[in-house]
Amino acid sequence: MRSRPSRSARATFALAALFCVAGFGGCKDGSDVMSLLDGPSRTRLAGISGNESLLFSVTAGHPITDLPPLGDNGKILGRSGNSVLLEMPRAALLRLEEVGGIKRATVWGDGEAARRIEPALRSRVLEALDADDRTPIEFLATFREAVPDLRERIAAGGANPRTVAGKVATVTAAPDAIFELMALPDLVRLSRPRVLRTLGNP
């Protein structure tokens, strides 16, 4: 008796077929299109159902000027160079078939992720992805409450907690580690550090 593929394996295969239909570069058996998504992106997408929204960026070899309708509640959250950041229902991914020349595709998280990262930091991360820049970015991470192992939990996803004061941490992390941090259930907000100016300075 043949064993049934795991739920994760079935979701990964379905994702490959979905993007293959969507026209993300001459794929025949799904292997080519799957190379657009790294392992963490595939894992994040596998946990999002077709009825849920997701935070998703694509980078092309040219500016993406025209996008198809993104479905109910679908919207563009930002642009940088040849990249665009979208919040859209997972089921609407098929509508991206009209976009050609896609080089990279990244799943940031579910729709709630869009509300956990402030626009200024979101733009900075998209800029880094567009340039394929993995240099760590500095930001503040605010959690619901202070817990003794907060530093360890932040570091577990690859981020570097430089300081922790109560429920707020100053963190540096590359984009991939930021996406892992965004998935923590007790995270409230990721934001750019505030620059304090002394009196008399502009």
> Residue 68: which CATH number?
3.30.70
Spatial distance between the Cα atoms of 23 and 102, rounded to a whole number of angstroms: 9
Domain boundary among 84, 114, 144: 114
Do residues 105 and 150 both lie within one domain?
no
* Domain carrying residue 16: 7-114
- Say if residue 147 is in the same domain as residue 89: no
Report DSSP state, residue 3.
P
| Tens-digit pLDDT profile for residues 82-139 | 999 999 888 777 676 667 788 888 999 998 888 999 999 999 999 999 999 999 999 9
CB 129 within 8 A of CB 59: yes
Residues 108 and 148 in one domain: no
Among 19-33, 40-54, 142-156, top mean pLDDT goes to 142-156
Q: Are residues 87 and 143 in the same domain?
A: no
Same domain, 94 and 148: no
Q: What is the pTM of this model?
A: 0.79
Instruction: Check which CATH number belongs to the domain holding 176 and give it.
Output: 3.30.70.80
Mean pLDDT of 48-73: 86
pLDDT computed for residue 90 by the predictor: 84
CA–CA gap between residue 196 and residue 198 (Å, rounded): 7
Output 58 or 201, whichever has higher pLDDT. 58
Asked whether residue 69 falls in the same domain as residue 142, the answer is: no
Per residue in 161-173, pLDDT (tens digit) is 999 999 999 999 9
User: Buried b / exposed e across 98-117, counting CB within 10 Å, b at 16+?
Assistant: ebeebebbbbbbbbebbebb
Shared domain for 83 and 150, answered yes or no, is: no
> Of residues 168 and 25, which shows the higher confidence score?
168
Percent of the chain with pLDDT over 70: 76
Q: What percent of the chain has pLDDT over 90?
A: 49
Give yes or no: residues 162 and 106 share one domain. Answer: no
Position 1 in a domain: no
Q: What helix, strand, coil percent values describe the chain, rounded to 5?
A: 35, 25, 40
